[in-house]
Chain A
Amino acid sequence: MIEIKNLHKKFGKLTVLEELDLTINKGGIFAILGPNGSGKTTLIKCILGMVIPNKGEIVLDGKSILKKWEYRNNLNYLPQIANFPGNLSVIELLKMVKNLRPKESNEKELIELFGLTPFLNKKLGNLSGGTKQKVNLVLTFMFDSELIILDEPTTGLDPIALIHLKELIAKEKEKGKTILITTHIMSLVDEMADEIVFLLDGKIYFKGSVDSLKKQTEQENLEHAIANLIEKQYQTATTK
C-alpha cells in the first residue's frame, strides 16, 4: 500500500532520513518507533506531504504522492499537538473541516463517545488540553479513509478516553484500514501493534512483528527490547 523508496531528507546540514526504503502493506497497525530525533515525525510528514523530501519516491496505492494533494482525501491524520483557532466553537471547527473534505462523516457517534456534547458551542480557546485532544480525535476518526496516521495519540487523554481510543483503533483495523502510530507508550504498542518499524538515525533499523523483535533481542519486555536496540546502536557507534 505504501511504498517508500530511497528517501532522503536533510534539514540544513542535518541528515534526518537517509536512503530509507519501507513498504507497508494494506491493513494492520504499524507502530513507528525510535528515539527522539530519529526521523519518525519527518517520515510521517513526508507521507502527509508536509515535508518535501530531497530525494526518493513515495507511492501510495500505486500512485506517486509527491507534490500532490488530492490523495489526502483518503487519509486521516492526528497531529501531535492539538491547537485550534481560539475563537471558533467546536461545532464550527467540525463544520469547517467537513467543509474541506466533501466526504461522509460520522462525527455524531464520536462526539457522544468522547462526551463532547456539552462543549459543542464552547470556544476552542476555552477548552482544556484533554478536551482539545478529544476534539482532535473526533476530527481524525470522523472520516472513512484507508490510511490513518496517529502522532502520539494518547497525549493528555484520561483513562476512559484512552480505552475509547483503543477501541476505535481496533475497530478501524477490523475494517481493514492501515494505521500508522508513533508513540512513546510501549504498552500501547505491545497491546495493539501488528508490526514495528524502528527508526534510528534516519534509517530503518528494524521492521517486523513485536514477537520477532522480542526474539531478536532476547527480551521478554518490549521496552527492554527497544532499549536493547538503542544500546546496540550506541555500542556500534562508539566502536566505530
Chain B
Amino acid sequence: MLKILKYSIYDLLRSRWSYVYFIFYLMLSFSLFFLNNDIDKAIITLMNVIVVLTPLIGTIFGVMYYYSSKEFTELLLAQPIKRSKIFMGQYIGISLSLTLSLVLGIGIPFVIYGLFKSAAVFDFTLLLVVGAFLNFIFVALAYNIALSINNKIKGFGYAILMWLTFAVIYDAVFMGLLIHYNDYPLDQFTLIATMLNPIDLSRILILLKLDASALLGYTGAFLQSFYGTSMGLIVSLSALSMWIVLPILRMRSKLKKKDF
C-alpha cells in the first residue's frame, strides 16, 4: 500500500490541480491577513471557505482521480498486490495531497504573519485539523460513489449531489424540522442531527471557538455544555473519525465483490 501511496502522491503533487488548489489557499489567506490585517475576520472567512470548499474539492478530486486513473488501476490490479491496498493507497494519496495543499496554503501566510505569537494559534490548528478531516471524509465518500457507479458522468453527478446534500440540503431540512417542531424539546434531536453531518459537525467545532458568545446564548447553552467540554471534543472528533472509518469499511467490502 505504501508503494501505491508513494506514487499516487508523487503523481498528485505534480498535478496542476494541486498547485491551483494550493495557490488558491495561499492567495486567499495572504489577502486575508495582509490586506485586512484582522485575524478574527481572517479566521471566520477561512472557516466559511474550509467548511464548504474542502468537502467540494475533496469530492471532485476523489471522483476525478478515480475515473481518470481507471485504466492504470486496471494495470495495477493485474500486479501481484491486494486490491484493497491499491485503493487505500490511492485514497490516502489524494487525501494527503489535498491536505498538504490546505495546510501549506494557509499555513505559510499564517507563519509569516507571525501567528505563533498570537492567541489564535489554537483556533488555527483546529481549523486545519477539521479541514484535514473533511478532506479524508469527502474523498472517502467520493471513492465510495465512484466505486459503485461505473458511468463517469453519473458518478460525477451523484458525487456533487452528495456534497450538495451535506452542505446545503441537509441544513435546509434540518432547519425546516426545527421550525416545524418548535414546540417540542429539540435539544437531543439537534445534537444528534449535527453529529450525522460531518460538515455541520466541523462547523460547530470551529464555531464554538470563534462565536462562543453567540452559541452561549440561551439556545446555545446545551450545545456548549456538550461540545464545550473535553468529552464533547472527544465525542465529536470520534464522530468525525467514524465518518472516515465507515466509508472505508464500505469501500473494502465493495471491493471484494467489484468487477473491473
Contacts and interface: CB of A to CB of B under 8 A. Distances in A.
Nearest to B150: A11
A99 B71 CA distance: 19
A69 B15 CA distance: 31
B147 to A, nearest CB: 14
| Category for how many chain B residues contact A | 20 to 34
Given A50-B260, A92-B10, A69 B81 contact: yes
Given A69-B83, A79-B71, A49 B10 contact: no
Given A88-B7, A96-B3, A71 B80 contact: yes
Contacts of A87: 10-12, 14-15
Contacts of B259: 9, 11, 45, 50-52
A99 B3 contact: yes
A159 interface: no
A100 B11 contact: no
Interface string A72-110: 110101010111111110001000110111000000000
Given A50-B259, A85-B8, A85-B11, A72 B80 contact: yes
Nearest to A96: B7
A99 B83 CA distance: 16
B15 A70 contact: no
Nearest to A74: B80
B69 interface: yes
A8 to B, nearest CB: 13
Interface string B48-88: 00000000000000000000011110111111111100000
A85 B6 CA distance: 13
B257 interface: yes
Nearest to B79: A100
A45 B75 CA distance: 11
Interface in B240-255: none
A83 B71 CA distance: 6
A128 to B, nearest CB: 16
Contacts of B76: 100
Contact of A72 (B14, B78, B260): B78
Nearest to B260: A50
Contacts of B257: 52
Contacts of B4: 100
Given A69-B82, A100-B3, A50 B77 contact: yes
Contacts of A75: 78, 80
A73 B4 CA distance: 16
A45 B12 CA distance: 28
A70 B80 contact: yes
A60 to B, nearest CB: 13
A101 B77 contact: no
Contacts of B74: 50, 79
B69 to A, nearest CB: 6
A23 to B, nearest CB: 22
B11 A88 contact: yes
A142 to B, nearest CB: 12
A193 interface: no
Nearest to B76: A100
15 contacts: A48-B78, A50-B77, A51-B259, A69-B81, A69-B83, A71-B80, A73-B80, A79-B74, A86-B15, A88-B10, A96-B3, A97-B75, A100-B3, A101-B79, A149-B78
